[in-house]
Structure 1
Amino acid sequence: MARVVMQAVVSVDGYIARPDDSVGPLFDWYFNGDTEVTAGASGWTFHVSRRSGGYVQAFWDAVKVTVIGRHLFDTTNGWDGKPAAGDELVVVTHRPLPEQWLADHQDAPFHTASSVEAGIALAKDLAGDGLVCVTAGDLGGQAFSAGLVDEVAMDVAPVVLGEGVRFFGSHTGTVLLDDPDQVVHGDRVLHLHYTVKR
């Protein structure tokens, strides 16, 4: 059965982007090392520290399906039809994807769902026994609030943004996590992985 992990790079004060959706120095660690890592079907390559490389590549290799919201789809232009991680992607949206985008990306392994619950269920079906990655932010916060997230993975950059898009979106309430089962010190990043207490 697929596991669902909520993941993003995050600032020390809990933001995954600035108010204008730019990431500023949050992603600097993707380019500060000599270990090459490749992100899923997108084929994007980054050069990170050796310690980050082992952690990040194993994580990306485990992801089978990514779930994103419509805002991230629009912001990234659907990553030009190639999932940033995993083999397939589910977009949670109440609006059809743009006709021109669909025409330009007919072979894109993208699916849509009209609710967070339906999106996670579809992603789990597609992933089989693999890992489903739901992006942090409003969509991830909704999935987290609904009890649909099994694990939380954070790549904490030593940056204080002061404002912006929160890792857990507008989630409020208390949810306990187990102690981190992975703590990896990279260069200008700390990788943390938690299991959600049930």
Structure 2
Amino acid sequence: MARVVMQAVVSVDGFIARPDDSVGPLFDWYFNGDTALVAEPSGWTFRVSAASHAHLRPFWDAIDVTVIGRHLFDTTDGWDGKPAAGDQLVVVTHRPLPEDWLAAHPDAPFHTAGSVAEGIARAKELAGEDGFVCVTAGDVGGQAFSAGLVDEVEMDVAPVVLGEGVRFFGDHTGTVELDDPDRVVRGDRVLHLHFTVRR
């Protein structure tokens, strides 16, 4: 069965963006190192510390399918039809993707789903039996987490306190226990943490 990980860069107080969706200093560590890190298939190039590179390269390479919400799709204009990581992308949305966007990106490996549960199920189907699905934290990730559809949590914690904004776990409430972190990697201005959801 494909694994599902919920992931994002997050502030110490649990926010992945400001109320206006800007990230402020959360992403500074993507550009403060001396090791090139290229995201595939998007081609985005970052410069991170060697420790962050050693952690992120295998994580990004393992992703088969990414799941995002319509808000992130609209905010990024669908990343020009190229998933930030993974071979395919599922957009959870109640509206069709814009016709002009589809016309401009006819070969984009994007799929849509009408609910979070449907989106995760579709992503797992696309990823295959031993696949790896990454759902972005925030509203969609929080819904998946609340529904018990998330197996792992991956946080890139930046030493920043935003005070308000978009919460990593969205609107999730209630207690969910995680196992002890099995990966703790100290980068430059970031701490990479990985947890497995306790079942």
CA distance in 1, matches of 2:174, 2:79: 33
Deviation track 1:16-58 (CA, whole Å, cap 9, x = no partner) reads: 0000000000000000111111112101111100000000111
Identify the residue that residue 150 of structure 1 maps to in structure 2: 151
Equivalent in the alignment of 1:43: 43
- What is the aligned length? 198
In structure 2, the residue matched to 1:195 is 196
Q: 2: CA distance between counterparts of 1:39 and 1:7?
A: 15
Partner letter of residue 44 of structure 1?
W
CA RMSD of aligned residues (A): 0.5
Moved over 2 A (4+): none
- What secondary structure, in the 3-state scheme, does the structure 2 residue paired with 1:42 have? coil
- Opposite residue 169 of structure 1, the aligned amino acid is G
Residue equivalent to 1:3 = 3
Alignment map for 1:20-99 (pairs within 5 Å): 20-99=20-99
The residue aligned with 1:140 is 141
Deviation of 1:130 after TM superposition, in Å, equals 2.0
Which amino acid in 1 is paired with 2:144?
A
Task: Point out where structure 1 has 5 or more consecutive residues left out of the alignment.
Answer: none
Structure 2: tracts of 5 or more residues without a match = none
TM norm structure 2? 0.99
Deviation string, structure 1 residues 57-107 (Cα, Å, up to 9, x no partner): 111000010000000000000001000010100000000000100000000
SS at match of 1:40: coil
Residue equivalent to 1:176: 177
Match of 1:171, SS state, is coil
Q: State the shift of 1:180 in Å.
A: 0.2
Match of 1:112 in 2: 112
